[in-house]
Amino acid sequence: MSVLDLSLSSAPQLASYIRTTLRLVHFSGLVLGLGGAVFLDLMLSRYRRMIVSSELVEHVEWISRFITAGLLLLWASGLGFLLLYQVTEPEKLLNPKIWAKVTIVSILTVNGFAIHRFVIPFIRRQIGSALLSEIRPATKTALIGCGVISIVSWSVPVILGAAPQLNFVVPCEIILGGYALLLVQGFIIATLVMHDRRDRCASITA
């Protein structure tokens, strides 16, 4: 048997090992990212009326590193899957769900840059004062928006990955439309939760 025959016969087994490795990396990225995002949002929601300490900022920065690591693992495994499909199963690249996930992870990446560029420095500047004290409504809206995008954009890929029934069935536009609807609903709920009682009293007396 020639070397070429051996390589061809072992190709399916090699592809199977690569697929399993990519799944483990993908799952690890989702666990780190989603777990970190949920924990960070809950922590900031709890401490929104408390005085920001340097210790709290250190916790935020520490958790954000795990979220960044999760995002990097998600991109590495996702691109790995695309390359694997291109070589072994190119028909899978026609699955609309794949490109919906790529779009959502791209949005998640842009939001991650915004969090590191604006949100974390904002929290650091609030040391010694309440997290949401004396900030403009636009700033508060932006903070809520970043948090909602983070939670929803980490959750939806998990849902899509757990729903093989959507493969080759639901168009990419429909999936992204549902994603956008979740963002709107999440933003409304988060705005209501983060609305300070003093803000409500001020709006009533105004």
What's this model's pTM, rounded to 2 decimal places?
Answer: 0.85
Q: Rounded to 5 degrees, what are φ and ψ at 127?
A: -60, 130
Domain ranges of the chain: 11-205
Say yes or no to pLDDT of 5 above 50: no
pLDDT at position 14: 84
Query: What is the tens place of the pLDDT at every residue in 11-43?
Result: 678 888 899 999 999 999 999 999 999 999 888
In the chain, the percentage of residues whose pLDDT exceeds 70 is 89
pLDDT at position 182: 96
Residues in Cβ contact with 11 at an 8 Å cutoff, skipping those fewer than 6 apart: 88
pLDDT band at 205 (very low <50, low <70, confident <90, very high): very low
127 DSSP β-pair partners = 52
